[in-house]
Structure 1
Amino acid sequence: MTRSYTVRIHNRQTNTTHSVVVPEDRYILHTAEHDGAELPFSCRNGACTACAVRVLSGELYQPEAMGLSPELRAKGYALLCVSYPLSDLEVETQDEDEVYEQQFGRYFGRGKVKRGLPLDEE
């Protein structure tokens, strides 16, 4: 028998809260959308940070979340598109750019990228 959990999602961008019941074998984002919630997403494959949330309480399982480093996962970040609930949850959406910066900012920390000369002028 499959268990289901209540997931409360606070969408910071629209200042709305959605409460959905998600079976433990279904992705949270898919179930929330099926129930009419409009949430941020992009790739649906766990490779970007568009659907990133911060877990406020509860537990989830996200084995396919390639878009989040182990460090960000340890800080409580998750990707709803590839997350399964393991308990009742409360999460809040994050600004994609903030999460992206935390994920990849160390690679771009040396200032703005400078444009080189066009190929025919090099």
Structure 2
Amino acid sequence: MTLYTVRIRDRRTDTLYTCQVPDDRYILHSVENQGANLPFSCRNGACTACAVRVISGELDQPEAMGLSAELQHQGYALLCVSYARSDLEVETQDEDEVYELQFGRYFGKGKVRRGLPLDED
């Protein structure tokens, strides 16, 4: 087992956490055990509540089904299913911002029109 130093800046509270994280444990679980109070929801990589942007370092997130490959390549990660692969510096993200980046192209394509009659057979 290798230990890495993980620095997390929580933008909501402007708090900086510095923790030692083993390479075989999820980052979120490890830093919570060391007193970090970070946002999360599902804990299984399906939502974006624990999303971060990687500032420096490397991590592995093979189970991050809540983030597209495109967002992962842009440096986004989900701490609940991420493993540190080097010393790491990350910054929490607003869940709604990440959700919009991920799914925004599917929504907001115009106004919903109400009161239109249904086609009759």
TM-score, normalised via structure 2 length: 0.91
Amino acid at match of 2:21: V
Runs (4+) of structure 1 moved beyond 4 Å?
112-117
Check 1:33–1:116 CA distance in 2 against 1; reply closer, same or farther (3 A cut). farther
Query: Counterpart in 1 of 2:73?
Result: 74
Alignment coverage as a number of residue pairs:
116
Note the C-alpha offset of 1:62.
0.1
Deviation at 1:43, TM superposition (A): 0.2
Amino-acid identity (%) = 75
CA distance in 1, matches of 2:3, 2:23: 6
Quote the Cα distance in structure 2 between the aligned partners of 1:68 and 1:18. Answer: 24
User: Distance between the aligned counterparts of 1:27 and 1:78, measured in 2?
Assistant: 12
User: By how many angstroms is 1:112 displaced?
Assistant: 4.9
Partner of 2:7: 8
What secondary structure, in the 3-state scheme, does the structure 2 residue paired with 1:25 have?
A: coil
| 1:40 counterpart SS class | coil
Query: How much has 1:114 moved relative to structure 2?
Result: 5.4
Cα 1:77/1:24, change in 2 over 3 Å: same
Whether 1:59 and 2:58 are equivalent positions in the alignment is yes
1:25 aligns with 2:48: no
> What code does the residue aligned with 1:17 have?
L
Q: Could you list the runs of 5+ residues in structure 2 that have no partner in the other structure?
A: 117-121
CA-CA distance at 1:115 after TM superposition = 6.1
- What is the deviation of 1:107? 0.6
Greater C-alpha Rg: 2
Structure 1 Cα separation of the partners of residues 38 and 113 of structure 2? 35
> How far is the alpha carbon of 1:111 from its aligned partner?
3.1
